[in-house]
Amino acid sequence: MADDDMLSWDESVFRDEHVFELDYLPEAFLHRDEQMETLKYALRPAVRGSRPLNVMARGPPGTGKTTAVQKLFDELTAVSDVESVRVNCQVDSTRYAVFSRLFEGIFEYEPPTSGISFKKLFRQITDHLVEEDEVLVVALDDVNYLFYEDEASDTLYSLLRAHEAYSGAKIGVIVVSSDLDLDVIDALDGRVQSVFRPDEVYFPAYGEREIVDILRERVERGFREDVVGPQVLDRVAAHTADSGGDLRVGIDLLRRAGLNAELRGSTEVSVEDVDKAYEKAKHVHLSRHLKGLSASESALLRVLAEHDGDRAGDVYDSFQDETDLGYTRYSEIVNKLEQLGLVETEYTTVEGRGRSRTLTLSYDRDAILERLD
């Protein structure tokens, strides 16, 4: 390789590495015009001081749902009488935690960690909305996590019925779900179903050419000129499409490939840099799911790593030795891990014992253990 193709010690292939961080909000939001128009239509009443329409945004992971909400909420910051708060339900997965996040978003400081009841917390939020004549728009991002913890119905009931308990409170809700197996409406209590009739907006997986368009914009902003060529971009897009069209895989892959090029001292990213990075980038879903697990949920995965494919009862014996938790809680955790796609269960008939459930990890054992540590 010629010297002019090599980086000096203080050079980088990146122009702005933050462009490849998952919290980066792109200026250009491509191939989502229809979805944005539906969301804007639902939120337009809030700008006029009325309660907005409720919305349910669904689609596979990495298809722009969170970005759409963030861009709309950025626009709403210019409207003085509208408060908009996005809650990450993977992190805040109980009704109290959701309302604590709403409190923080409205008052710009956290509520006390103890000594304040949910009723009082709720009342302070609604009193503020009524006194200031403000509309609150709440986005429950990854709302499926509220369902996994059996907190969704109570949370939505409190939000949707707020105007009945506190006259004048105006709250609209956007629920965002990446779990396509979850029927949000059907999974809610009847008391919530009667008042939750959201407009629906679907975010389909991006096609390969759409992925190229979107990633090209990131490349132009994030890399120096001529670092990533068309062949490399096409390879990243192909890997992204193979991962279900999740753009987060492609964005993470671009960053890792750039770092691989720097490690070689090269001024250009190669196809080999991309392929080498893919083995790590393809686990972006796994890392995201593991990050939100509790200590007991992580403990069960560690136990499963040693008992992969064993019967549920045998796994439980080891899990109880590790945690002292009962079978009911164990069963709840198994169900949650299955809903997250981390564990697969299969029922088989065992002679003399009837039907038995076996548990299998959905990802490579070493990949899970590496990311749990």
For 7-49, the pLDDT digits (tens) are: 877 789 999 999 999 889 999 999 999 999 999 999 999 999 9
The mean pLDDT value for 358-370 works out to 88
How many whole angstroms separate alpha carbon 282 and alpha carbon 29?
A: 23
Tell whether domain 293-372 is in CATH 3.40.50.1860: no
Window from 75-84, 164-173, 290-299, 354-363 with minimum mean pLDDT: 354-363
Q: What does the pLDDT look like over 255-270, one tens digit per residue?
A: 999 999 999 999 999 9
The mean pLDDT value for 41-70 works out to 96
How many whole angstroms separate alpha carbon 26 and alpha carbon 275?
A: 25
How many whole angstroms separate alpha carbon 212 and alpha carbon 251?
A: 11
Q: Are 261 and 268 in contact (CB under 8 A)?
A: yes
Length of the chain: 373
Task: List, in order, residues 6 or more apart from 185 with CB less than 8 Å away.
Answer: 56, 193, 196
In the numeric block, which tokens belong to residue 251? Answer: 């964005």
Task: List, in order, residues 6 or more apart from 166 with CB less than 8 Å away.
Answer: 123, 126, 127, 130
How many whole angstroms separate alpha carbon 17 and alpha carbon 221?
A: 9
pLDDT at residue 373 in the model: 75
Strand positions, DSSP E, the chain: 55-58, 82-88, 135-141, 170-177, 199-202, 343-350, 354-361
Count the Cβ atoms, other than its own, within 10 Å of residue 124. Answer: 16
CA distances, 130 to each of 87, 96, 165, 214, 338 (Å): 22, 21, 12, 42, 42
- The CATH number given to 207-282 is 1.10.8.60
pLDDT at residue 159 in the model: 97
Window from 3-17, 30-44, 197-211, 279-293 with minimum mean pLDDT: 279-293
Q: Are 135 and 144 in contact (CB under 8 A)?
A: no
- Enter the pTM of the model: 0.85
Residue ranges of domains in the chain: 33-202, 207-282, 293-372
**The CATH fold of domain 33-202:** Rossmann fold (3.40.50)
Q: Are 63 and 204 in contact (CB under 8 A)?
A: yes
